[in-house]
Amino acid sequence: MHKSKKKAVIEVKNLSFAYDKDLVLEDVNLEIFEKDFMVLIGPNGGGKSTLVKLILGINPLQKGSIAILDKSIRKSISQIGYVPQNTNINLNFPIKAIEVVMMGKNSQKNSLFGYKKEEILHAMQLLEKVGMKEFANTKIGLLSGGQRQRVMIARALYVDPKILLLDEPTSSIDADGQKQIYELLKELNKEITVIVISHDISILLEYASKVAHINKKLSFHDLSSIKNIETKSDHICEVELLQMLGKCKC
Amino acid sequence: MLEALSYEFMQNDLIAGVLVSLVSGIIGSLIVANRMVFLAGGIAHAAYGGIGIAIFTGIPIFLGTSLFAVAAALFMAFITINQRENIDVFIGLTWAVGMAVGIILVDLTPGYNVDLLSYLFGSILAVNRDDLYFMGLLFVVILFVITFWYRDILAVSYDSEYAALSGINVKFFYTLILVLSALTVVIAIKVVGLILVIALLSIPVYIAQKLSSSLYSMMLISGIIASVFTLIGLLLSYSFNITSGASIILVSALSLMLFMLFTKLR
């Protein structure tokens, strides 16, 4: 029996999706393998968020299939750690970072008011992992954008997922913060699959192992070919890169 | 002043004031956290329809108002969940239609010269034993609900999208919070009146929000702050013979201004 080296953790087949009659995704095929660092790019309205919602099971499937770790989509929600796009919600809300982390899992009942010791311990370990341990008891609204994003990553990791899915993780973070977030993701990628939805193409070459471009249709790129492109300067401009990824037929 | 405390009606007023304040602190925290202040205002005003129905049909005021307010809350919950785009139109509509129904029914009630002002601005001096039982019961129910579902309510209030993803029934808790808000509005009408209730639900919460680092402590601190405002307001109301609701709200608003000034200067 032939065994492939890597296992597909997400397998999207012939997926199409339309809002009313507007086709947003057309015949999308995508395979994501274990420990990939996958970046999904594409223009606004190109269907990135729709694909995320389909993978998470927020939107119902219309046509095609999505297999996550070889199981049906409904059961697999807990296998994907999700970091939503907007993490600047409810900043006045009186809640500590560690409480946000423990929201990662719908608590089993009967833990009136408080949190169980093992939950607190687990959350603290995750906060340490993302470098936010000393802020565990800080109000979430008092953290910087980058710090808050780390807490949200810890929340996504709370279910011990095999896959981490981030929607525009650096959209509201300063340059230093962005770099740190990607370094953190690189570190996490040693153990789990990371999927990032992003406009932020400049970081691609440094961190991503695979890139897919979505604009209704999905085109897939092996990054090695991009890395080999000869440019007159050492620098590849973001615009050139975006155009190239959108146009090429590979 | 102290001799006033020996009258039974005054004792009832103080007990009612504290009960309503504690409930307002808890539910007000949820209303502010879930950005439902305008929604709660709509329910409060719509509740006047219930007062009208109760007076017209002769059923107890508390019962009529509660039923009507809960119906308004369910309607609001349904609209918010299914028609997000037009939500403010429907809130405004419920707000005005509820009041219109109440006013017409009171007009149509033969020989009844209702003291409209007491429902609009509070009539705590008329609190009786039954009112106190109703307030106490609601307080216990709310404590029970909050204790039992604290983490679900916390998750829904902080980030409803993520709560839904992790399998929490967001619609149920959203509706539950609105129904509890409706019942809170009903008991608060006795103390501050339906026009002023929204201030009691939001001013103490605004102050508490700055002072607390968890939802639980925000509820507790709001409840205590609201109680202090209510007690001071009631004593002023008694001493100067002014309307209780208005004096409570002015005490709250002045304290809020001082608080903001203090935090700015610090």
Examine the pLDDT at B1 and tell me if it is beyond 90.
Answer: no
CATH of B3-265, one of 1.10.3470.10, 3.20.20.80, 3.40.640.10, 3.40.50.1860: 1.10.3470.10
pLDDT tens-digit series, residues A154-204: 999 998 888 999 988 877 788 788 888 888 999 999 999 999 988 767 666
For chain B, which residues make up each domain, given as ranges?
3-265
Partner-chain contact B215 A155, CB within 8 Å: no
CB contacts under 8 A, B 53-112 vs A, are none
Residue B101 neighbours by CB distance under 10 Å: 19
Q: How far is CA A107 from the centre of its chain?
A: 23
What angle, 0 to 180 degrees and rounded to 10, lies between the N-to-C axes of helices B8-33 and B215-240?
Answer: 140
pLDDT tens-digit series, residues A12-51: 888 888 888 788 888 888 888 888 888 888 887 788 888 8
pTM of the complete model: 0.84
Q: What pLDDT score does B49 carry?
A: 93
Instruction: Spell out which residues of chain B touch residue A93, defining contact as CB-CB under 8 Å.
Output: 33, 157-158, 215
Neighbour-count burial of A26, counting CB atoms closer than 10 A to its CB (0-12 exposed, 13-18 middle, 19+ buried) = middle
| Cα-trace Rg, chain B | 18
Partner-chain contact A94 B154, CB within 8 Å: no
Q: What pLDDT score does A108 carry?
A: 61
pLDDT tens-digit series, residues B177-187: 999 999 999 98
pLDDT tens-digit series, residues A103-153: 888 766 555 557 888 888 999 999 999 999 999 999 999 998 889 999 999
Per-residue b or e along A93-132, where b marks 16 or more CB atoms closer than 10 Å to that residue's CB: bbbbbbbbbbbbbbbeeeeeeebeeebbebbbebbebbeb
Q: What pLDDT score does B261 carry?
A: 94
Examine the pLDDT at B260 and tell me if it is beyond 80.
Answer: yes
Q: CA torsion angle for A16, A21, A23, A29 (degrees, to 10)?
A: 0
pLDDT confidence band for A244 (50 / 70 / 90) = low
A113 vs B33, B147, B161: nearest CB:
B147
| CA dihedral (B125, B195, B243, B58) positive or negative | negative
Q: Which residue of A has its CA nearest to B218?
A: A94
Put simply, whether B151 touches A (Cβ < 8 Å) is yes
Examine the pLDDT at A83 and tell me if it is beyond 60.
Answer: yes
Q: Is the distance from CB of B223 to CB of B24 less than 8 angstroms?
A: yes
Q: What pLDDT score does A124 carry?
A: 93
Domain A8-88+161-247 has CATH 3.40.50.300: yes
List Cα–Cα distances, A179 to A128, A146, A240, B62, B220, in angstroms. 18, 10, 22, 60, 41
Q: Which 3-state string (H, E, C) describes chain A?
A: CCCCCCCEEEEEEEEEEEECCEEEEEEEEEEEECCCEEEEECCCCCCHHHHHHHHHCCCCCCEEEEEECCECHHHHHHHEEEECCCCCCCCCCCCEHHHHHHCCCCCCCCCCCCCCHHHHHHHHHHHHHCCCHHHCCCEHHHCCHHHHHHHHHHHHHCCCCCEEEEECCCCCCCHHHHHHHHHHHHHHCCCCEEEEECCCHHHHHHHCCEEEEEECEEEEEEHHHHHCCCCCCCCCCHHHHHHHHHHCCC
pLDDT confidence band for A68 (50 / 70 / 90) = confident
Q: What pLDDT score does A235 carry?
A: 52
Residue keyed to tokens 């956290």? B33
Q: What pLDDT score does A230 carry?
A: 46
Residue B112 neighbours by CB distance under 10 Å: 12
Q: What pLDDT score does A2 carry?
A: 47
Partner-chain contact A95 B168, CB within 8 Å: no
Q: Which residue of A has its CA nearest to B32?
A: A93
pLDDT tens-digit series, residues B202-241: 999 999 998 998 999 999 999 999 999 999 998 898 889 8
